[in-house]
Structures are given as C-alpha cells and as structure tokens.
C-alpha cells in the first residue's frame, strides 16, 4: 500500500476579511501525479505557498512524507511556484549553481543530472535571456530537481506555452514520474492537461476542496459517467413514441437527421436498448456520451474557466 507523500488537514489562510484557503484537506500518495485543479483565483497558489512554508497559515497542518517540521520537510521537496525567475545575463548552468549555493543543497553532479533530465544539457551554457518560455519552464523544473527531491510541486508549469510546449512539459513530467519514481503535484486551470497527465485530482472552488480522487472515481460518484446517449433510428416517429413510454428517459434535443440525444435518470444504456427492442424499435446505433473532466468541473464549480 502506497504511503502518503503530502497531506494537509484543515489548511486555512486569510487575507484580512477574505479567506483564500478554507479548511483544505487533501492527500497525495507516494507515486501519484496529482492534479490540483481550479479556476484562476480559486486559491491554488496560496495553498501551495502555505504547503511549502513560503507564507504562514492561520490554521491546519501539513505533512510531507510524515514530517511535520518545515525544515525537515524541505529536504524532500522541489518546487516551482508561478513563473520561474532567473538571472538573464547568466547561463542556465550558472543559474543552477547560484541556486544550489543559496539553498545549500545539491552538487555539481546533481546540476548536470537535472539539466539532462529536462533536456537542456546541450544548451546549458547559453544565456537565459535567449531562452524561450518553454525552455525557461524546463529550467525551472531543473532547479526544482537539483536537490534530488521525492516530491515535486509545480504551480501552473504549462502556463503560457503553445500546444507543442505543453505537450513537451507533460511528457517530461510523466517521464520523471516513471523513471525517477517522483511524486508530482501539479496545479493547473487547464482541464485537458490535467486529464491527460494526472492519476488523481483535487478540485478547488473558492478555497475549498469540492472533490478528490481519480477522474474515473469522480465521474462515477457524480453520476456523470454516462448520463446521455445518442440514438440513431430510421423511424424517428416510432422511436419518439417508444421513448415516451420508458420511465427515466428524457429527450435532450431534436438532434440531427435520424439521430436523437436522450438523458438517462436511473437507467443504463443497456437497459434502454433492451426496452427499445421490446417495443419493436430497430435502433441502428446507441452511443453513450461519456462525460469529461470539464463537464465534472463545471458541475462542481460556479466560476468560469479562463
């Protein structure tokens, strides 16, 4: 059974009269690629800063691999919070040397390994001012890797990247999780990225955790896994009459041509098909509409995606 890498209990942070993070409970297990999902302004970065001890918390506790002491916790964690900043006039390698000296953690060999892991070893002597945004994000991840952490915490690592850059970072993180057996905690407001990258997710809404688990578990719990189906039938009139006599089925829209979408309430697609066969209706296609993480997100949160 996997042990816990990161646990928060009742984590709370206020700014004056505003509560940015409210009684946050989350659990990241060792080996997880965990997606911390929420709209911009939901409190993700504030929560991460509290977890890392960068700002104080008003209540609650944080455990990292069972450690509660902030100093001992840092030995296990590498982090990149918001857009990484570097000395632009220095090379990537020299930036990492300065960061290592400042932190008092990591060796020259660790720097070379981190550069190799993120694919920057061949360009490590170039000045950072000539780096693209994607290369700077990679360098930020390299800086987080230098101390050989067991847990990597990344705040919006694909923010501002084009689709190719996003895919490169996603592939890099999956490789780090697989080859280096890192536990990775990634905050994001990009639903598609989280769905492709993460094994488990937590959804934050206005500072509160509203759901946590695998995407499949959350969809199943919410009843959103299959709630609609598309039906195709040559005799639309007969199909409509048959549907009127089946409890737990409602027509969502008029559909296109001989296709009709219906919503199921307590009825499975297989049961619907059986009822239609019994009614003598020949359905040429019955296609379940599987809900996505985006559908679940919009159901659980009131804020618009940005």
Which of 205, 220, 235 is the C-terminal boundary of a domain? Answer: 220
Q: Are residues 170 and 232 in the same domain?
A: no
Claim to verify: residue 246 and residue 129 sit in the same structural domain: no
Where is the domain boundary, 167, 197, 220? 220
Percent of the chain beyond pLDDT 90?
51
Range of the domain at 270: 226-290
The number of domains in the chain is 2
pLDDT computed for residue 305 by the predictor: 40
Tell me, yes or no, whether 62 and 146 share the same domain: yes
218 pLDDT exceeds 80? no
What does the alpha-carbon distance between residue 227 and residue 265 come to, in Å, rounded to a whole number? 7
Domain boundary among 220, 244, 273: 220
Residue 254: pLDDT band by 50, 70, 90 thresholds? Answer: low
pLDDT at 253: 67
- List, for residues 3-34, the tens digit of each pLDDT value: 999 999 999 999 999 999 999 999 999 999 99
* Average predicted confidence (pLDDT) for the chain: 87
pLDDT of residue 55: 95
CA 177 to chain centre: 14
The pLDDT of residue 277 is above 60: yes
Whether 101 and 118 map to the same domain: the answer is yes
Same domain as 236, residue 140: no
Whether residue 304 is predicted with pLDDT greater than 50 in this model: the reply is: no
pLDDT at 222: 60
User: How buried is 262 (Cβ within 10 angstroms: 0-12 exposed, 13-18 middle, 19+ buried)?
Assistant: buried
At residue 62, the pLDDT reads: 96
**Tens of pLDDT along 126-163?**
999 999 999 999 999 999 999 889 999 999 998 888 88
Task: Judge contact between 204 and 45, C-beta under 8 A.
Answer: no
- 204 and 69, same structural domain? yes
Kindly state whether residues 230 and 216 are assigned to the same domain.
Answer: no
Euclidean distance between CA atoms 39 and 301, whole angstroms: 9
| 211 and 285 together in one domain | no
Q: Is the pLDDT of residue 257 over 80?
A: no
Q: What is the largest CA-CA distance in the chain?
A: 77
CA–CA distance, 99 with 26 (Å, rounded to integer): 30
Range name among 53-67, 129-143, 272-286, 287-301 with the lowest pLDDT average: 287-301
pLDDT at 263: 82
CATH code, 23: 3.40.50.300
DSSP letters along 77-133, please? EEEE-SS----TTSBHHHHHHHHHHHHT---HHHHHHHHHHTT-GGGTTSBGGG--H
> Do 152 and 78 form a contact (C-beta atoms < 8 A)?
yes
* Cβ atoms 60, 223 nearer than 8 A: no
pLDDT of residue 83: 82
Q: Each residue of 31-67: pLDDT tens digit?
A: 999 999 988 889 999 999 999 999 999 999 999 999 9
Asked if 123 and 247 sit in the same domain, the reply is no
**Mean pLDDT, range 240-257, rounded to an integer:** 79
- pLDDT-above-70 percentage for the chain: 92
Decide if 305 is inside a domain.
Answer: no
At 118 the pLDDT is 93
Q: Count other Cβ atoms within 10 Å, centred on residue 49.
A: 20
Residues 35 and 53 occupy one common structural domain: yes
Strand runs labelled E in the chain = 4-15, 18-29, 33-37, 59-64, 77-80, 151-155, 183-188, 200-205, 208-213, 226-233, 249-251, 259-264, 283-290
Q: Residue 216: its pLDDT value, please? A: 74
pLDDT of residue 4: 93
Q: Are residues 131 and 278 in the same domain?
A: no
């Amino acid at each position: 059974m996997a042990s816990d890498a990161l646990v928060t209990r009742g984590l709370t942070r206020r700014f004056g009269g505003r509560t940015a993070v409210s009684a946050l409970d989350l659990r990241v297990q060792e080996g997880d690629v965990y997606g911390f999902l929420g709209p911009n302004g939901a409190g993700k970065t504030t929560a991460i800063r509290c977890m890392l001890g960068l700002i104080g918390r008003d209540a609650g506790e944080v455990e990292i691999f069972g450690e509660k002491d902030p100093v001992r916790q840092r030995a296990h964690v590498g982090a990149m919070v918001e857009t990484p900043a570097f000395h632009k006039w220095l090379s990537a390698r020299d930036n990492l040397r300065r960061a290592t000296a400042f932190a008092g953690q990591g060796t020259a060999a660790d720097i070379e390994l981190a550069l190799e892991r993120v694919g920057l070893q061949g360009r490590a002597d170039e000045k950072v001012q000539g780096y693209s945004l994607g290369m700077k994000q990679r360098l930020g991840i390299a800086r987080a890797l230098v101390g050989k952490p067991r847990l990597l915490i990344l705040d919006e690592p694909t923010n501002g990247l084009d689709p190719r850059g996003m895919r490169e970072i996603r592939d890099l993180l999956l490789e780090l999780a697989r080859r280096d057996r890192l536990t990775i905690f990634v905050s994001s407001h990009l639903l598609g990225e989280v769905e492709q990258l993460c094994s488990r997710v937590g959804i934050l809404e206005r500072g509160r955790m509203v759901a946590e688990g695998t995407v499949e578990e959350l969809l199943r719990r919410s009843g959103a896994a299959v709630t609609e189906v598309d039906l195709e039938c040559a005799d639309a009139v007969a199909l409509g009459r048959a549907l009127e006599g089946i409890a737990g089925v409602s027509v969502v829209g008029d559909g296109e041509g001989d296709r009709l979408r219906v919503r199921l309430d307590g009825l499975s697609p297989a049961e619907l098909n059986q009822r239609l066969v019994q009614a003598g209706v020949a359905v040429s296609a019955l296609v379940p509409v599987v809900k996505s993480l985006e559908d679940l997100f919009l159901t659980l949160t009131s804020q618009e995606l940005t």
